[in-house]
Amino acid sequence: MRTFVAIDVNAEIREVAQEVMEKLQNAGFKANWTKPENLHLTLFFMGEMDERHVDKMADVLNKRLLGFPSFSTVLAGVGYFKFKHAPRVIFLKLEPTKSLQKMYLEMKSELTKNKFKYDDQGNFVPHVTLARVKEYPSNWEAIVSEIVVPKITLVIDGFTIYSSTLTPQGPIYKWVYKSKFEGGLEKNVR
């Protein structure tokens, strides 16, 4: 199964994401838009993994983060990744707090130690993808930079491992494991 490790976002962030996507659509952006139920903060894209490896990964990450203190981050604006002069991905930025960075590095260390392969993007940029851009207006950078988002707090007290099934209508994400820092690893047996 195609697998990734993520942090779930709250209803307030989903609401803001919808508003930002509507603004971008009204401004002339054409894109593959993220469905509200699929919004998340990706930590690691793992690619194809068999179920046994997913079980082991969930177990080692859960043990590594057991007792990690809950923390929060804040919505920090709208950002983008671009290629040459064109926007490729537009996203909601999250504040890269020390706790978030520390959690990411703890998980990365555990994945590396256990020889799990993942897509290493280099610098960790905490974000929630809104759109993979196909067409855009000529003044796209100005449009994106003028979008203001409220400072919404996201409390982080665990992580989720998802499977991703690609379909012509877009990806379908299903949670496989949910882990809480204070203890508890729940497996989805659907």
Number of independent structural domains in the chain: 1
- Active-site residue, 40 included: yes
Instruction: Please report the pLDDT score of residue 171 as a whole number.
Output: 86
Say which residue the tokens 């809480």 belong to: 180
- Active-site residue, 85 included: no
For residue 103, give its domain range.
Answer: 2-187
Catalytic residue among 20, 21, 40, 176: 40
Give the global pTM. Answer: 0.92
Instruction: Please report the pLDDT score of residue 132 as a whole number.
Output: 95
Catalytic residue among 127, 131, 136, 158: 127
Which CATH number goes with the domain that contains 7?
3.90.1140.10
Give the pLDDT of the chain (190 residues) as one tens digit per residue.
999 999 999 999 999 999 999 999 999 999 999 999 999 999 999 999 999 999 999 999 999 999 999 999 999 999 999 999 899 999 999 999 999 999 999 999 999 999 999 988 778 999 999 999 999 999 999 999 999 999 999 999 999 999 999 888 888 899 999 999 998 899 997 6
Instruction: Please report the pLDDT score of residue 71 as a whole number.
Output: 97
